[in-house]
Amino acid sequence: MGIVDEDVARVREATDIVALLGEHIALKRVGRRFQGLCPFHTEKTPSFSINPELGVFHCFGCGKSGDAITFVREVEHLDFADAVERLAARAGIALRYTDASISKDRKRKERLHEAVGVAIDFYHELLLNSTDAGIARRYLRARGFDGDAVRRFKLGHAPDSFDLLSRHLQEKKFSRQDTVDAGLAFMNKANRPQDQFRSRLMFPIWDTRGEPVGFGGRTLTEQGPKYKNSPDSAIYQKSRLLYGLHWAKGEVVAHGDVIICEGYTDVMAFVLAGVPNVVATCGTALADDHFVMLKNLARRITLAYDADAAGQAAAERCYQWEERFEVEFRVADLPPGRDPAEVGQEDPQRLVESVEHAKPFLQFRLDRLLAAADVSSFEGRARAAQAAATLVGAHPNELLRDQYVMQLASRLDIDADHLRTAASNARSRGHVTTREMPRGPARPIDRRELDALRWAVQNPELVAGRLDRSLFADPSALAVFDALTQWSFAEATTRSEPDVAALLERLAVEDPTEGDEPPDEVVTRVVVNLVEASSKRVVTSMVKQRDERSSQVKTLLDALVTARQTEHWNAAEETARQLVGWIAECSKRGSDDERFG
């Protein structure tokens, strides 16, 4: 079920991958490729490459690869269908679906987005012009936000009315069910729609695609909870949303850093102070889903609230996230007990400096602890050292633990071995587990097999009829060759296993030529080298099996090596063609032996 395959292919073909990716990163043409800094990890030297002819990208630094659909999914955190729909709209392509219910469901979501969008405009107009919204305007002015800020963030005002919004939506031809399903109203005891928000300052919330999904509303009467969010719906799940992310995505990628706040006004304060790479959780604590959204945008996370107040449990979660999502947590250098909105109102430059002077998570906690401790006496330093050792012991990285132990020993004038023992004991008491075992490097594929496959991907007409699957010993290389013989490149990348698809995409962006050599000459050399390597394996196997024909193959192999060494490439190619027949036959016989032996 989903989008018709033919339409997916049309979207791929219609998308200019260079233009698309150029909206996110700076690209430079290098030969037939385009290169730039990878948007998925921090780097100073470009390792991100695009093949515009095949429509794929690959990063030689972090290994990320894919096509235009993959890129949109990664940077905008969309599912496959959403990414295709986004690109289809860009290309002006009408999509067809294999299941009518899917089309109906997507149309239903579009209707709910439309309803929320109308509500945003309605509440915004009330805040700007309604006499009843005076209380909201006074609150905003008291917090340092003027009319320009209201318009920039599309703030609104929900009046003290039971159904003003519901009646407005009805006039706009939205049904009762539309209003309820969009989280804008609920059915009361009289079976009439009643507005979800009353007497609140309204903060509109959009998803990562920029679609309106809901609201966060702050009370203006101190009745009820201070903040109220839209109820979960088909388009709004607060644990999967970050306020401001649709504005901040480009800046987050550019800075390699995302600042996370707790409140909507905190985001506004940072943005107005000139720090645009900022988001906030929507009335919920940080969770795994948030990092699924953020991990490909930035590797550095700056917390713009008092992380020390979160306690040891929060620290453990941060360390788990650092390890699982390969991110680094830092904490903004805000005055203790002050939120960003308060700081921004008094001194916007102080907000900028709080990010510039952000500290690693553990460093922040240790500094706070020592700043509050009495280190003027032996007893005070001992208590501080014990508390600090407990914090250090919670960190999963042994090398970092030891670095902080050495730092504490110097700051507190206490023996490092004693601190190291205290940290180790604290860690044992906490039953902390880690995954510090280093992973071995992946087994490399034979360069000669990769050289041949690179041409099979980028110039298949030059190797047509010159290669056979029996020439490839590496399972991944063989899987790539088999995929290319069954399908087009685009189909191969979508039908293959993830590791095979990644290898295909990597080969597509690597330059197969060196200098100005004619491609046909390079291909001949590549094929000869691959056949030579395969022939040596075959001869070894035949000798072990006492196959009398091994001498014939050995004679051909010797002739191939001589021709290669003397650069008689025509002779080498003809001999290689004969050897490929032997290799294929031996491979088939070996498979039959395994099947029936």
- Measured between alpha carbons, how far is residue 302 from residues 333, 343, 356, 484 in Å? 10, 17, 10, 45
Helix (H, G, I), strand (E, B), or coil: what is residue 66?
A: strand
Q: Name the average pLDDT for the chain.
A: 87
Q: What tens digit of pLDDT does each residue of 529-552 get?
A: 999 999 999 998 888 888 888 899
Q: What is the domain extent for residue 512?
A: 447-596
Of 21-30, 51-60, 303-312, 363-372, minimum mean pLDDT range: 303-312
* Residues 17 and 40 both lie in one domain: yes
Q: Is residue 241 part of a domain?
A: no
Q: What is residue 44's predicted lDDT score, i.e. its pLDDT?
A: 81
CA 367 to chain centre: 32
Question: What does the pLDDT average to over 58-78?
Answer: 88
Strand partners, 300: 257, 328
Question: What does the pLDDT average to over 369-378?
Answer: 88
**Structure tokens, 565:** 């060494």
* Residues 409 and 386 both lie in one domain: yes
Q: State what percent of residues in the chain have pLDDT above 70.
A: 92
Give the pLDDT band of residue 228 (cuts 50, 70, 90): very high
* Residues 394 and 506 both lie in one domain: no
For β-strands 28-30 and 33-36, DSSP reports them as antiparallel
**pTM beyond 0.75, yes or no:** no
Asked if 49 and 57 count as a contact pair (C-beta separation under 8 A), the reply is yes
Q: What tens digit of pLDDT does each residue of 172-226 get?
A: 999 999 999 999 999 999 999 999 999 999 999 998 878 999 999 999 987 788 9
* Residues 78 and 114 both lie in one domain: no
Q: Is 161 exposed, middle or buried (0-12, 13-18, 19+ CB in 10 A)?
A: middle
CA nearest 253: which of 71, 425, 49, 484? Answer: 71
Domain of residue 229, CATH code: 3.90.980.10
Helix (H, G, I), strand (E, B), or coil: what is residue 91?
A: helix
Asked if 397 and 360 count as a contact pair (C-beta separation under 8 A), the reply is no
Question: What does the pLDDT average to over 231-240?
Answer: 90
Q: What is residue 595's predicted lDDT score, i.e. its pLDDT?
A: 34
Structure-model confidence comparison of residues 95 and 104, the more confident one: 95
Q: Is residue 366 part of a domain?
A: no
Provide the residue type at 20 as one letter. Answer: L
Give the pLDDT band of residue 59 (cuts 50, 70, 90): very high
CA nearest 462: which of 535, 510, 512, 514? Answer: 512
The label of the residue with tokens 């990644």 reads 502
* Euclidean distance between CA atoms 15 and 580, whole angstroms: 40
Structure-model confidence comparison of residues 513 and 402, the more confident one: 402
Of 135-139, 186-190, 281-285, 490-494, minimum mean pLDDT range: 281-285
The domain total for the chain is: 5
Of 200-204, 320-324, 430-434, 460-464, minimum mean pLDDT range: 430-434
Structure-model confidence comparison of residues 396 and 243, the more confident one: 243
Give the pLDDT band of residue 326 (cuts 50, 70, 90): confident
Q: Is residue 87 part of a domain?
A: yes
Neighbours of 274 (CB within 10 A): 10
Which of these three, 48, 67, 91, is where a domain ends? 91
Which of these three, 304, 325, 356, is where a domain ends? 356
Structure-model confidence comparison of residues 365 and 129, the more confident one: 129
* Euclidean distance between CA atoms 212 and 225, whole angstroms: 23
* Euclidean distance between CA atoms 571 and 560, whole angstroms: 8
Give the pLDDT band of residue 270 (cuts 50, 70, 90): very high
* Residues 473 and 555 both lie in one domain: yes
Q: What tens digit of pLDDT does each residue of 283-325 get?
A: 777 888 888 778 767 888 998 975 445 444 455 678 878 877 7
Q: What is residue 475's predicted lDDT score, i.e. its pLDDT?
A: 92
* Euclidean distance between CA atoms 459 and 529, whole angstroms: 18
The label of the residue with tokens 């990320």 reads 64
Q: What is residue 222's predicted lDDT score, i.e. its pLDDT?
A: 75
Of 136-150, 246-260, 267-281, minimum mean pLDDT range: 246-260
The label of the residue with tokens 């020993």 reads 409
Question: What does the pLDDT average to over 246-271?
Answer: 90
Provide the residue type at 469 as one letter. Answer: R
- Measured between alpha carbons, how far is residue 155 from residues 184, 198, 206, 471 in Å? 16, 15, 13, 65
Helix (H, G, I), strand (E, B), or coil: what is residue 52?
A: coil
Q: Is 536 exposed, middle or buried (0-12, 13-18, 19+ CB in 10 A)?
A: middle
Q: Is 595 exposed, middle or buried (0-12, 13-18, 19+ CB in 10 A)?
A: exposed
* Residues 459 and 591 both lie in one domain: yes
Asked if 60 and 49 count as a contact pair (C-beta separation under 8 A), the reply is yes
Structure-model confidence comparison of residues 435 and 31, the more confident one: 31
* Residues 316 and 279 both lie in one domain: yes
* Residues 13 and 59 both lie in one domain: yes
Per-residue pLDDT at 590 exceeds 60: no
- R_g over Cα of the chain: 31
Per-residue pLDDT at 591 exceeds 70: no
Structure-model confidence comparison of residues 597 and 175, the more confident one: 175
* Residues 496 and 552 both lie in one domain: yes
Question: What does the pLDDT average to over 449-454?
Answer: 94
Question: What does the pLDDT average to over 231-247?
Answer: 91
Q: What is residue 314's predicted lDDT score, i.e. its pLDDT?
A: 54
Neighbours of 132 (CB within 10 A): 14
* Residues 522 and 385 both lie in one domain: no
Question: What does the pLDDT average to over 84-107?
Answer: 82
Neighbours of 147 (CB within 10 A): 12
Q: What angle do CA 589, 591, 594 make, to 5 degrees?
A: 110
Which of these three, 236, 259, 283, is where a domain ends? 236
* Residues 452 and 590 both lie in one domain: yes
